[in-house]
Amino acid sequence: MAGFDDATPAYRPETLAVRAGQERSQFGEHAEALYLTSSFVFKSAALAAKRFSGEEEGNVYSRFTNPTVTMFEERLAALEGAEDCVATASGMSAIMALVLAHLKSGDHIVASSGLFGATVQLFSNILARTGIATTFVPQTDPTAWEAAIRPETKLFFLETPSNPLTEIADISALTAAAHARGILVAVDNCFCTPILQRPLELGADLVVHSATKFLDGQGRVLGGAVCGPKRLTEEVFKYLRTAGPTLSAFNAWVLLKGLETLKIRVEAQSANALQLARWLEAHPKVARVFYPGLPSHPQYELAQKQQKGGGAIVSFEVQGAREQAWQVVDHCRLLSITANLGDTKTTITHPASTTHGRIPPEARAAAGIGEGLLRIAVGLEAVEDLQADLARGLSLI
Protein backbone atom coordinates (compact mmCIF):
# COMPACT_ATOMS: atom_id res chain seq x y z
CA MET A 1 0.00 0.00 0.00
CA ALA A 2 1.50 3.32 -1.05
CA GLY A 3 2.03 5.98 1.58
CA PHE A 4 2.99 9.13 -0.25
CA ASP A 5 2.79 10.14 -3.87
CA ASP A 6 6.35 11.27 -4.51
CA ALA A 7 5.52 11.82 -8.16
CA THR A 8 3.44 14.89 -7.30
CA PRO A 9 5.75 17.79 -8.06
CA ALA A 10 6.60 20.78 -5.94
CA TYR A 11 5.46 19.82 -2.47
CA ARG A 12 6.80 22.39 -0.03
CA PRO A 13 9.41 21.50 2.63
CA GLU A 14 6.92 21.34 5.53
CA THR A 15 4.83 18.82 3.57
CA LEU A 16 7.85 16.75 2.56
CA ALA A 17 9.13 16.74 6.16
CA VAL A 18 5.93 15.04 7.32
CA ARG A 19 5.03 12.88 4.34
CA ALA A 20 7.90 12.14 1.97
CA GLY A 21 9.20 8.60 1.74
CA GLN A 22 6.41 6.92 3.66
CA GLU A 23 5.64 3.42 2.41
CA ARG A 24 2.71 1.65 4.10
CA SER A 25 2.56 -2.09 4.62
CA GLN A 26 -0.47 -4.28 3.92
CA PHE A 27 -1.83 -3.26 7.35
CA GLY A 28 -2.25 0.38 6.37
CA GLU A 29 -0.56 1.79 9.47
CA HIS A 30 -0.79 5.61 9.67
CA ALA A 31 2.61 6.17 11.32
CA GLU A 32 5.79 4.82 9.76
CA ALA A 33 6.46 1.20 10.72
CA LEU A 34 9.61 0.21 12.59
CA TYR A 35 11.05 -2.89 10.91
CA LEU A 36 13.30 -4.28 13.63
CA THR A 37 14.67 -7.23 11.69
CA SER A 38 18.19 -8.07 10.68
CA SER A 39 17.22 -10.17 7.66
CA PHE A 40 14.30 -10.86 5.30
CA VAL A 41 12.82 -14.18 4.17
CA PHE A 42 12.14 -15.34 0.63
CA LYS A 43 9.25 -17.43 -0.68
CA SER A 44 11.57 -19.86 -2.50
CA ALA A 45 15.17 -20.69 -3.26
CA ALA A 46 14.76 -19.20 -6.72
CA LEU A 47 13.47 -15.89 -5.28
CA ALA A 48 16.34 -15.83 -2.77
CA ALA A 49 18.79 -16.21 -5.65
CA LYS A 50 17.11 -13.39 -7.59
CA ARG A 51 17.24 -11.03 -4.59
CA PHE A 52 20.90 -11.81 -3.93
CA SER A 53 21.88 -11.31 -7.55
CA GLY A 54 19.96 -8.05 -7.73
CA GLU A 55 17.75 -9.40 -10.54
CA GLU A 56 14.77 -8.67 -8.29
CA GLU A 57 14.64 -5.57 -6.11
CA GLY A 58 13.92 -6.02 -2.42
CA ASN A 59 15.37 -6.32 1.03
CA VAL A 60 17.88 -9.03 1.88
CA TYR A 61 19.72 -8.04 5.04
CA SER A 62 19.60 -4.82 7.09
CA ARG A 63 23.28 -4.05 6.53
CA PHE A 64 22.23 -3.48 2.89
CA THR A 65 18.72 -2.05 3.12
CA ASN A 66 15.85 -1.89 5.60
CA PRO A 67 12.38 -0.42 4.88
CA THR A 68 12.43 1.99 7.85
CA VAL A 69 15.89 3.24 6.88
CA THR A 70 14.71 3.61 3.27
CA MET A 71 11.80 5.81 4.41
CA PHE A 72 14.24 8.09 6.27
CA GLU A 73 16.57 8.23 3.25
CA GLU A 74 13.75 9.18 0.89
CA ARG A 75 12.40 11.85 3.22
CA LEU A 76 15.82 13.49 3.68
CA ALA A 77 16.55 13.26 -0.07
CA ALA A 78 13.27 15.06 -0.78
CA LEU A 79 14.16 17.82 1.68
CA GLU A 80 17.68 18.28 0.22
CA GLY A 81 16.33 18.21 -3.33
CA ALA A 82 18.60 15.20 -3.95
CA GLU A 83 17.98 12.29 -6.29
CA ASP A 84 19.18 9.88 -3.63
CA CYS A 85 20.31 9.56 -0.01
CA VAL A 86 22.28 6.88 1.82
CA ALA A 87 21.91 6.78 5.62
CA THR A 88 24.81 5.93 7.92
CA ALA A 89 25.36 5.09 11.60
CA SER A 90 26.69 8.57 12.46
CA GLY A 91 27.84 11.82 10.88
CA MET A 92 31.46 10.66 11.00
CA SER A 93 30.67 7.41 9.21
CA ALA A 94 28.89 9.45 6.50
CA ILE A 95 32.07 11.48 5.93
CA MET A 96 34.25 8.36 6.03
CA ALA A 97 31.95 6.56 3.56
CA LEU A 98 31.86 9.53 1.19
CA VAL A 99 35.65 9.80 1.07
CA LEU A 100 36.42 6.07 0.84
CA ALA A 101 33.73 5.59 -1.83
CA HIS A 102 35.21 8.24 -4.11
CA LEU A 103 38.93 8.56 -3.27
CA LYS A 104 41.88 6.19 -3.20
CA SER A 105 45.48 6.21 -2.05
CA GLY A 106 47.37 9.03 -3.76
CA ASP A 107 44.32 11.31 -4.03
CA HIS A 108 44.13 14.69 -2.35
CA ILE A 109 41.45 16.71 -0.53
CA VAL A 110 41.21 20.46 -0.03
CA ALA A 111 39.18 21.19 3.10
CA SER A 112 38.29 24.16 5.25
CA SER A 113 40.46 24.67 8.31
CA GLY A 114 37.38 25.26 10.47
CA LEU A 115 35.91 21.75 10.12
CA PHE A 116 34.32 19.78 12.95
CA GLY A 117 37.13 18.48 15.21
CA ALA A 118 36.62 14.77 14.48
CA THR A 119 36.58 15.50 10.74
CA VAL A 120 39.97 17.19 11.05
CA GLN A 121 41.29 14.13 12.95
CA LEU A 122 39.78 11.77 10.37
CA PHE A 123 41.38 13.61 7.46
CA SER A 124 44.75 14.41 9.03
CA ASN A 125 45.36 11.11 10.88
CA ILE A 126 43.26 8.18 9.69
CA LEU A 127 42.86 9.04 6.01
CA ALA A 128 46.43 10.34 5.79
CA ARG A 129 47.59 6.84 6.84
CA THR A 130 45.67 5.34 3.90
CA GLY A 131 47.52 7.66 1.51
CA ILE A 132 44.77 10.27 1.09
CA ALA A 133 46.30 13.68 1.86
CA THR A 134 44.44 16.82 2.90
CA THR A 135 45.36 20.50 2.68
CA PHE A 136 43.42 22.76 5.06
CA VAL A 137 42.67 26.31 3.87
CA PRO A 138 40.69 29.26 5.24
CA GLN A 139 36.99 28.79 4.65
CA THR A 140 36.42 32.37 3.51
CA ASP A 141 39.22 32.74 0.94
CA PRO A 142 38.36 31.19 -2.48
CA THR A 143 41.84 32.00 -3.85
CA ALA A 144 43.43 29.84 -1.11
CA TRP A 145 41.25 26.90 -2.24
CA GLU A 146 42.36 27.35 -5.85
CA ALA A 147 46.01 27.70 -4.83
CA ALA A 148 45.83 24.42 -2.87
CA ILE A 149 44.66 22.38 -5.88
CA ARG A 150 47.10 19.70 -7.07
CA PRO A 151 46.83 17.43 -10.11
CA GLU A 152 45.63 14.65 -7.78
CA THR A 153 42.98 16.77 -5.98
CA LYS A 154 39.66 14.92 -6.08
CA LEU A 155 37.52 16.60 -3.43
CA PHE A 156 36.67 19.99 -1.89
CA PHE A 157 35.19 19.40 1.56
CA LEU A 158 33.54 22.29 3.37
CA GLU A 159 31.30 22.92 6.34
CA THR A 160 29.40 26.18 6.32
CA PRO A 161 28.77 27.99 8.64
CA SER A 162 31.85 26.78 10.49
CA ASN A 163 32.04 25.79 14.14
CA PRO A 164 32.37 27.81 16.38
CA LEU A 165 33.09 31.07 14.50
CA THR A 166 30.25 30.75 11.94
CA GLU A 167 32.50 31.58 8.96
CA ILE A 168 30.71 31.21 5.66
CA ALA A 169 32.12 29.47 2.58
CA ASP A 170 30.82 30.68 -0.79
CA ILE A 171 29.41 27.38 -2.08
CA SER A 172 28.72 28.64 -5.63
CA ALA A 173 32.17 30.20 -6.05
CA LEU A 174 34.04 27.17 -4.68
CA THR A 175 31.93 24.82 -6.79
CA ALA A 176 32.73 26.77 -9.95
CA ALA A 177 36.46 26.60 -9.20
CA ALA A 178 36.30 22.87 -8.40
CA HIS A 179 34.16 21.84 -11.36
CA ALA A 180 36.47 23.64 -13.80
CA ARG A 181 39.05 20.99 -12.79
CA GLY A 182 36.75 17.98 -12.41
CA ILE A 183 36.90 18.10 -8.58
CA LEU A 184 33.90 16.95 -6.51
CA VAL A 185 32.42 19.29 -3.89
CA ALA A 186 30.93 17.96 -0.65
CA VAL A 187 29.24 20.17 1.94
CA ASP A 188 28.61 19.25 5.57
CA ASN A 189 25.16 20.83 5.96
CA CYS A 190 24.77 20.01 9.64
CA PHE A 191 24.42 23.58 10.95
CA CYS A 192 21.84 24.82 8.43
CA THR A 193 19.91 21.67 7.49
CA PRO A 194 18.00 21.75 4.16
CA ILE A 195 15.52 24.15 5.77
CA LEU A 196 18.05 27.01 5.70
CA GLN A 197 20.50 25.94 2.99
CA ARG A 198 20.35 23.57 0.01
CA PRO A 199 23.95 23.11 -1.19
CA LEU A 200 22.97 20.93 -4.18
CA GLU A 201 20.98 23.85 -5.64
CA LEU A 202 24.12 25.99 -5.32
CA GLY A 203 26.08 23.46 -7.37
CA ALA A 204 27.61 21.15 -4.75
CA ASP A 205 27.81 17.46 -5.71
CA LEU A 206 27.18 15.86 -2.32
CA VAL A 207 25.74 16.86 1.04
CA VAL A 208 26.69 15.09 4.27
CA HIS A 209 24.80 15.24 7.54
CA SER A 210 25.26 14.41 11.14
CA ALA A 211 21.60 13.47 11.68
CA THR A 212 22.49 13.37 15.38
CA LYS A 213 22.12 17.15 15.50
CA PHE A 214 19.15 19.08 14.10
CA LEU A 215 17.61 16.23 12.06
CA ASP A 216 16.83 14.32 15.24
CA GLY A 217 16.73 17.63 17.07
CA GLN A 218 15.99 16.13 20.44
CA GLY A 219 19.36 14.66 21.38
CA ARG A 220 18.29 11.02 21.25
CA VAL A 221 20.14 9.03 18.59
CA LEU A 222 23.20 9.07 16.35
CA GLY A 223 22.86 8.99 12.60
CA GLY A 224 24.26 10.36 9.39
CA ALA A 225 23.57 10.62 5.68
CA VAL A 226 25.07 11.36 2.27
CA CYS A 227 22.74 12.97 -0.30
CA GLY A 228 23.30 13.60 -4.00
CA PRO A 229 22.81 12.21 -7.48
CA LYS A 230 22.50 8.43 -7.67
CA ARG A 231 25.66 8.07 -9.77
CA LEU A 232 27.63 9.37 -6.73
CA THR A 233 25.60 7.92 -3.85
CA GLU A 234 25.68 4.48 -5.46
CA GLU A 235 29.41 4.27 -4.71
CA VAL A 236 28.73 5.28 -1.10
CA PHE A 237 26.07 2.56 -0.84
CA LYS A 238 28.49 -0.06 -2.21
CA TYR A 239 31.04 0.94 0.45
CA LEU A 240 28.42 0.86 3.24
CA ARG A 241 26.85 -2.49 2.43
CA THR A 242 30.29 -4.07 2.62
CA ALA A 243 32.07 -2.02 5.28
CA GLY A 244 28.97 -1.94 7.48
CA PRO A 245 28.39 1.44 9.20
CA THR A 246 24.70 1.42 8.26
CA LEU A 247 21.96 3.24 10.16
CA SER A 248 19.94 1.05 12.54
CA ALA A 249 16.21 0.73 11.83
CA PHE A 250 15.38 2.01 15.30
CA ASN A 251 17.45 5.15 14.84
CA ALA A 252 15.94 5.70 11.38
CA TRP A 253 12.47 5.51 12.91
CA VAL A 254 13.40 8.11 15.56
CA LEU A 255 14.94 10.32 12.86
CA LEU A 256 11.80 10.08 10.69
CA LYS A 257 9.85 11.53 13.60
CA GLY A 258 12.57 14.18 14.08
CA LEU A 259 12.28 15.27 10.45
CA GLU A 260 8.53 15.86 10.83
CA THR A 261 9.19 18.88 13.04
CA LEU A 262 12.47 19.96 11.38
CA LYS A 263 11.12 23.08 9.68
CA ILE A 264 9.29 24.53 12.66
CA ARG A 265 12.17 23.71 15.02
CA VAL A 266 14.95 25.11 12.85
CA GLU A 267 13.02 28.28 12.03
CA ALA A 268 12.08 28.88 15.66
CA GLN A 269 15.61 28.13 16.93
CA SER A 270 17.11 30.40 14.27
CA ALA A 271 14.72 33.23 15.26
CA ASN A 272 15.63 32.71 18.94
CA ALA A 273 19.33 32.77 18.04
CA LEU A 274 18.99 36.06 16.17
CA GLN A 275 17.21 37.63 19.14
CA LEU A 276 19.86 36.32 21.55
CA ALA A 277 22.71 37.45 19.25
CA ARG A 278 21.29 41.00 19.14
CA TRP A 279 21.01 41.05 22.93
CA LEU A 280 24.57 39.78 23.36
CA GLU A 281 25.92 42.33 20.88
CA ALA A 282 24.40 45.14 22.97
CA HIS A 283 25.69 43.71 26.29
CA PRO A 284 28.55 45.76 27.82
CA LYS A 285 30.44 42.63 29.02
CA VAL A 286 30.44 41.06 25.55
CA ALA A 287 33.39 42.00 23.32
CA ARG A 288 32.22 40.42 20.07
CA VAL A 289 29.42 38.28 18.67
CA PHE A 290 29.75 35.80 15.77
CA TYR A 291 26.38 35.20 14.11
CA PRO A 292 25.68 35.16 10.35
CA GLY A 293 22.32 36.89 10.83
CA LEU A 294 23.88 40.05 12.31
CA PRO A 295 24.92 42.87 9.91
CA SER A 296 28.22 42.99 11.88
CA HIS A 297 29.14 39.49 10.59
CA PRO A 298 31.96 39.86 8.01
CA GLN A 299 30.00 37.77 5.48
CA TYR A 300 26.52 38.98 6.26
CA GLU A 301 25.75 39.61 2.56
CA LEU A 302 26.86 36.13 1.51
CA ALA A 303 24.90 34.54 4.36
CA GLN A 304 21.79 36.44 3.29
CA LYS A 305 22.22 35.16 -0.26
CA GLN A 306 23.11 31.57 0.57
CA GLN A 307 21.02 30.83 3.69
CA LYS A 308 17.38 31.35 4.59
CA GLY A 309 18.34 32.25 8.18
CA GLY A 310 21.34 32.65 10.44
CA GLY A 311 20.94 29.25 12.11
CA ALA A 312 20.88 28.33 15.78
CA ILE A 313 24.59 28.64 16.62
CA VAL A 314 25.78 31.87 18.25
CA SER A 315 29.34 32.40 19.48
CA PHE A 316 30.59 35.35 21.48
CA GLU A 317 33.66 36.64 23.26
CA VAL A 318 33.31 37.93 26.79
CA GLN A 319 35.37 40.89 28.04
CA GLY A 320 38.22 38.87 29.51
CA ALA A 321 39.70 35.41 29.11
CA ARG A 322 39.10 31.83 30.32
CA GLU A 323 38.22 32.79 33.90
CA GLN A 324 35.49 35.20 32.82
CA ALA A 325 34.13 32.81 30.17
CA TRP A 326 33.97 29.93 32.67
CA GLN A 327 32.21 32.24 35.13
CA VAL A 328 29.40 32.74 32.61
CA VAL A 329 29.16 28.97 32.02
CA ASP A 330 29.23 28.11 35.71
CA HIS A 331 26.39 30.51 36.54
CA CYS A 332 24.03 28.90 34.04
CA ARG A 333 21.15 27.04 35.67
CA LEU A 334 19.11 26.52 32.51
CA LEU A 335 21.60 26.19 29.64
CA SER A 336 23.15 22.71 29.52
CA ILE A 337 26.95 22.59 29.76
CA THR A 338 27.58 20.20 26.90
CA ALA A 339 29.20 20.35 23.48
CA ASN A 340 26.23 18.80 21.69
CA LEU A 341 24.18 21.02 19.41
CA GLY A 342 20.98 21.02 17.43
CA ASP A 343 18.82 20.08 20.41
CA THR A 344 15.59 21.76 21.53
CA LYS A 345 17.48 22.35 24.81
CA THR A 346 20.00 25.20 24.61
CA THR A 347 23.61 24.20 25.21
CA ILE A 348 26.74 26.21 26.06
CA THR A 349 30.38 25.26 25.65
CA HIS A 350 33.83 26.86 26.00
CA PRO A 351 35.51 25.67 22.76
CA ALA A 352 39.12 26.39 23.83
CA SER A 353 38.88 23.89 26.72
CA THR A 354 36.47 21.35 25.19
CA THR A 355 35.81 20.81 21.46
CA HIS A 356 39.04 22.56 20.44
CA GLY A 357 41.05 21.71 23.56
CA ARG A 358 43.42 19.30 21.80
CA ILE A 359 44.57 21.92 19.29
CA PRO A 360 47.87 23.55 20.40
CA PRO A 361 47.18 27.01 21.94
CA GLU A 362 49.08 28.91 19.21
CA ALA A 363 47.16 27.16 16.42
CA ARG A 364 43.93 27.74 18.29
CA ALA A 365 44.63 31.44 18.67
CA ALA A 366 45.59 31.65 14.98
CA ALA A 367 42.23 30.09 14.11
CA GLY A 368 40.52 32.84 16.13
CA ILE A 369 39.31 30.60 18.94
CA GLY A 370 40.23 32.67 21.97
CA GLU A 371 40.06 31.91 25.68
CA GLY A 372 37.09 34.26 26.10
CA LEU A 373 35.00 32.57 23.40
CA LEU A 374 31.74 30.77 24.21
CA ARG A 375 29.46 28.89 21.83
CA ILE A 376 25.73 28.57 22.32
CA ALA A 377 23.47 26.23 20.36
CA VAL A 378 20.10 27.86 20.83
CA GLY A 379 17.05 25.69 21.52
CA LEU A 380 13.35 26.35 21.91
CA GLU A 381 13.21 27.92 25.39
CA ALA A 382 11.96 31.51 25.79
CA VAL A 383 14.78 33.87 24.80
CA GLU A 384 14.12 35.98 27.92
CA ASP A 385 14.89 32.96 30.09
CA LEU A 386 18.13 32.30 28.21
CA GLN A 387 19.13 35.95 28.58
CA ALA A 388 18.46 35.90 32.34
CA ASP A 389 20.61 32.76 32.65
CA LEU A 390 23.54 34.35 30.79
CA ALA A 391 23.11 37.76 32.46
CA ARG A 392 23.87 36.19 35.86
CA GLY A 393 27.45 35.28 34.95
CA LEU A 394 28.02 38.27 32.66
CA SER A 395 27.08 40.72 35.42
CA LEU A 396 29.98 39.39 37.56
CA ILE A 397 32.64 40.24 34.96
Ligand X SMILES: *Cc1c(COP(=O)(O)O)cnc(C)c1O
Residues contributing to the site for ligand X (CB under 6 A): 90-92, 116, 118-119, 159, 163, 188, 190, 210, 212-213, 222, 224
Identity of the residue, 90 or 140, whose beta carbon is nearer to ligand X in the bound complex: 90
Q: Give the integer Cα–Cα distance in Å for 298 and 303.
A: 10
- By beta-carbon proximity to ligand X, the closer residue of 186 and 222 is 222
CB closer to ligand X out of 4 and 116: 116
Specify the amino acid at residue 293: G
Name which of 75 and 213 has its Cβ closer to ligand X.
213
For ligand X, the closer CB: 39 or 340: 340
What is the C-alpha separation between 172 and 180, in angstroms, rounded?
12
Q: How far apart are the first and last CA of the chain?
A: 63
List Cβ neighbours of 62 (8 Å cut-off, separation of 6 or more). Answer: 37, 38, 39, 69, 246, 248, 249
Smallest distance from the beta carbon of 283 to ligand X, in angstroms?
A: 27
CB of 45 to ligand X, least distance (A): 40
The answer to whether the beta carbons of residues 293 and 269 sit under 8 Å apart is no
Shortest Å distance, C-beta 358 to ligand X: 16
Under a CB-based contact definition with an 8 Å cutoff, are residues 256 and 71 in contact?
A: yes
Distance CA 76, CA 88 (A): 12
Q: Quick one: DSSP state of residue 88?
A: E
What's CA 8's distance to the chain center, in Å?
28
Q: Closest approach of Cβ 159 to ligand X, in Å?
A: 5
Query: Rounded to the nearest whole angstrom, what is the least distance from the CB of residue 276 to ligand X in the complex?
Result: 19
Residue 388: CB minimum distance to ligand X, A: 28
Ranked by CB distance to ligand X, the top (closest) residue is: 91
Residue among 171, 141, 146, 153 at smallest CA distance from 109: 153
Residues facing residue 337 across a β-bridge? 348
Q: Which is nearer to ligand X, 74 or 188 (CB)?
A: 188
Q: Name the residue type at position 314.
A: V
**Least CB distance from residue 116 to ligand X, whole Å?**
4
Name the residue nearer to ligand X (CB basis): 174 or 394.
174
